[in-house]
Amino acid sequence: MNKQPFTGKPLSRLEGHQKVTGSAKYAGEYEAEDLLYGYVVNSTITKGKIISIDKSEANKLEGIVEIFTHENRPSTGWFDFQYADMDAPPGTVFKPLKDNDIKYNGQPIALVVATTFEMARYAAYLIKVTYKEEEFTTDLKANYKLAREPKKGLASMLKPPPPKPTGDFEKAYKTSFVHHEGIFNHGTENHNPLEMFATTVIYEGKNKLKIYDKTQGTINSQLYVANVFGLKMKNVQVIAPFVGGAFGSGLRPQYQLFMAVMASLKLKRNVRVTLDRAQMYTFGHRPPTLQYTKFGANANGKVNAINHKAIGETSQFEDYVEVVVNWSAMLYPAENTLLEHKLVPLDVYTPLDMRAPGGSTGMHAIEITMDELAYQLNLDPLELRLINYSEIDKTTGKEYSSKELRACYLKGAEKFGWKERNPKPLSMKRGNKLVGYGMATGIWDANRLLARAQAIMTSDGKVTIKSAVTDIGTGTLTVMTQIAADELGLSIEDVTFLYADSKMPFAPIQGGSFTVATVGPAVKAACKALNKKIFKKAKKIEGSPLEKVKFEEVTFSDGCIIVTNDPKLKCTVQDVFKTNDGKEIKTTNTSMPNPLQYRKKARAVHSAVFVEVEVDETLGIIEVKRAVTAVAAGKIINPKTAESQILGGMIWGIGKALHEETITDHRFGKYMNANLAEYHIPVHADIPELGVLFVDEQDDFVNDLGVKGIGEIGIVGMAPAISNAIFHATGKRINDLPIHFDKLL
């Protein structure tokens, strides 16, 4: 009766042993009889047409089964509508091998299928392609004047456009006591997950497929395959129980899925296609973005004018949009705002979501501009943010369902030791190192979508929960098991969570920090419905002590239904199954937010980030020495996996600020460092002392569990906090990311 809940406990990952021992299987590791291997050939030009593809030398090799190009690929059933998957932006979905047009450098133009991976790869290098090149443009800076408004589409539901202007910005800005204008350049970044993209297709006959795919949405990949190849949804099963890193790269189906399915259907064989590290740079990226800010404040530090403009890169065939400029007015309630976001179509592949898409880009410009105002006003940067604290989202005029950002500021500052900061730049030293303290605010949406879950109890009293949701390494499996165990009154060992299979009840793509808030309530609803079903059967047992008891008056615990106020009155689940002929009892339930109710309040997760850096006075080398992130994200289901998420975001933020950069040679329209040797990411030596604290935040509005997402909030404030710390240390304000030592010499 007094059993402690599992939610709120720091439970270790239930699949952890499988992952560290190597027994967990990923998309490219499933065994299949008579398996064929595909290797993709990519274009070496940026724009133009294929004149000819000479496959003669490759076809002479033993073990080559087929070489697919636009000339001999099988016909597909592309639907005549805009979206082939649930995460497609407005425009025309890219169709691999559709024709001889080259739209971007690295575009897939052929697939070699062979009996071994090594033979397929070798044959790919023997293929000779003749092109007719055309003029192209890939430089955002050189073409920023071509910026236009984004096209509208379904994606704007989760990525709303900037709100309309308010007040009179120009007048307010000119008459502000202090004002600051900034220009920011955010370069291209590419996903580099440990697991590269792979698809293994098992051909089960009569166009029926079982697909092991690297994806953040099994049903999304199923939808894509069915749409593209004109197959029945029931004949396409997508499975992805283990995903070796994704954070946006797996939201949209990538071209290896198309290639593998195409070859399997045509050859009626089992086929695997795996991309190599360089090919991981050919299907999307965090887009380079130019930003312009103009903030004004009165003598008391109240921000009264905000202008934030962003110009982002997109492809020529789709309009990829991020929420970059909306955040400032969501945090700081200025009466006069002008927020703008435009796109420049270039000869590149469509950008794609990368952890906190738009948020980590926009908050960098916003929080540096706020830092500048603080120095002009001779205010502590923390004090300036407290002066401008608001419980209202100015972009909608709605009150936040919960907002403990003030507690984040105060508790984070205390844990970090912010009061030890000398406010004057260039004032703190440690030997030959300049020491700087910087801080920034973080914000991200707290969204929730529709999801379904199934709960099945067997005669031994154990329960299996099913959902199509994936687990990209965030701890979804563990957290959902905790939620179910608490609702059912069972131990963790008696609950099995089965997931990442498109045949299971619907779950959306895992992204946007909405998974626990979306799937968690569905799991809770299914478990509650299962309890009710069992309770009803228990009441009907002859002589049942529960005959006159209401459902609200009982507690489920360790396989028993107990009258809460009289624990002596109880019925075991075993008794129920005896009258049910031992048959399993199951229920499937849907959970979704009430759209009318949900519109009444704004919803967000917040953070405050504090960072200390050291900068070598002679060499300009930057080291992040320590950082603290305080987070307000509703109820924390599992503090251990939650802390891991925030730490991962903080490390990625260090990479964003100081390391990560994809270099394009615009003479060739080509990435020059498509490898982990030259695309720098943080390593162990770069990771300092990191601290995470979660402040208490009660929120009964966001969902039944009171939870908010935490996948993105860990990264959004790190880069600006590091930038602000570097300014405090050196007196030099650098707005371009990443910040290299040469900019400080």
pLDDT in tens, 128-159: 999 999 999 999 999 999 999 998 766 556 78
Q: Is residue 432 part of a domain?
A: yes
pLDDT tens profile 247-303: 999 999 999 999 999 999 999 999 999 999 999 999 989 999 999 999 999 999 999
C-alpha 708: how far from chain center: 14
Helix (H, G, I), strand (E, B) or coil at 103: coil
pLDDT for the residue 155: 56
Identify residue 434 by its one-letter amino acid code.
L
- H/E/C letters for each residue in 245-295? CCCCCCCCCCHHHHHHHHHHHHHCCCEEEECCCHHHHCCCCECCEEEEEEE
Residue 80 has pLDDT above 90, yes or no: no
Total Cβ atoms within 10 A of residue 355: 25
* Residue 528, domain CATH: 3.30.365.10
**Final residue belonging to a domain, choices 258, 281, 304:** 281
> Would you state the structure tokens that stand for residue 642, as one six-digit string?
């939650």
Average pLDDT of 565-574? 93
Of 233, 227, 237, which is closest to residue 200 (Cα–Cα)?
Answer: 237
Domain span including residue 495: 16-22+449-592
Cβ–Cβ < 8 Å for 236, 203:
no
Cβ–Cβ < 8 Å for 415, 693:
yes
Average pLDDT of 417-433? 97
Whether residues 375 and 503 share a domain: the answer is no
Of 164, 83, 79, 64, which is closest to residue 122 (Cα–Cα)?
Answer: 64
Residue 84 has pLDDT above 80, yes or no: no
Please report, rounded to a whole number, the percentage of residues in the chain having pLDDT higher than 90: 93
Question: Which positions ≥6 away from 212 have C-beta within 8 Å?
Answer: 25, 27, 30, 199, 200, 201, 202, 238, 239, 240
Q: What is the mean pLDDT of the chain?
A: 95
Whether residues 515 and 443 share a domain: the answer is no
Whether residues 303 and 165 share a domain: the answer is yes
pLDDT for the residue 156: 58
Helix (H, G, I), strand (E, B) or coil at 697: coil
pLDDT bracket for residue 79 (50, 70, 90) = low
Q: CA-CA distance, 523 to 537, in Å (whole number)?
A: 21
Q: Is residue 6 part of a domain?
A: no
Q: CA-CA distance, 363 to 375, in Å (whole number)?
A: 18
Of 124-133, 467-476, 590-599, minimum mean pLDDT range? 590-599
Q: Is residue 273 part of a domain?
A: yes
Whether residues 233 and 201 share a domain: the answer is yes
Residue 170 has pLDDT above 90, yes or no: yes
pLDDT tens profile 671-704: 999 999 999 999 999 999 999 999 999 999 999 9
pLDDT for the residue 152: 78
pLDDT for the residue 4: 81
Average pLDDT of 195-217? 97
Whether residues 130 and 197 share a domain: the answer is yes
- H/E/C letters for each residue in 452-512? EEEEEECCCCCEEEECCCCCCCCCHHHHHHHHHHHHHCCCHHHEEEECCECCCCCCCCCCC
pLDDT for the residue 682: 94
* Residue 253, domain CATH: 3.90.1170.50
Whether residues 623 and 734 share a domain: the answer is yes
Q: Is residue 293 part of a domain?
A: yes
The total of structural domains in the chain comes to 4
Q: Is residue 3 part of a domain?
A: no
Alpha helices in 586-680, H assignment, sequence order: 595-598, 639-658
Q: Is residue 5 part of a domain?
A: no
pLDDT for the residue 159: 87
Identify residue 351 by its one-letter amino acid code.
P
pLDDT for the residue 248: 94
Write the CA distances from 36 to 39, 123, 314, 743, integer angstroms: 10, 14, 35, 50
pLDDT tens profile 296-349: 999 999 999 999 999 999 999 999 999 999 999 999 999 999 999 999 999 999
Whether residues 108 and 174 share a domain: the answer is no
Residue 738 has pLDDT above 70, yes or no: yes
Q: Is residue 27 part of a domain?
A: no
pLDDT for the residue 534: 96
Whether residues 632 and 722 share a domain: the answer is yes
Whether residues 441 and 558 share a domain: the answer is no
Residue 673: half-sphere exposure toward Cβ, Cα within 13 Å: 17
Q: CA-CA distance, 511 to 517, in Å (whole number)?
A: 11
Of 458, 374, 418, 407, which is closest to residue 632 (Cα–Cα)?
Answer: 407
**Final residue belonging to a domain, choices 249, 281, 313:** 281
Cβ–Cβ < 8 Å for 501, 468:
yes
**Final residue belonging to a domain, choices 281, 314, 348:** 281
Residue 231 has pLDDT above 60, yes or no: yes
Residue ranges of E strands in 316-449:
336-346, 392-393, 398-399, 429-430, 433-445
Q: Is residue 245 part of a domain?
A: yes
Question: Model pTM?
Answer: 0.96
Whether residues 517 and 551 share a domain: the answer is yes
Average pLDDT of 472-496? 97
Whether residues 497 and 552 share a domain: the answer is yes
Of 114, 111, 110, 112, which is closest to residue 62 (Cα–Cα)?
Answer: 114
First to last CA, the chain: 66
Whether residues 98 and 216 share a domain: the answer is yes
- H/E/C letters for each residue in 26-68? CCCCCCCCCCEEEEEEECCCCCEEEEEEECHHHHCCCCEEEEE
Torsional class of 620: left (φ above 0), alpha (ψ -120 to 50), beta (otherwise): left
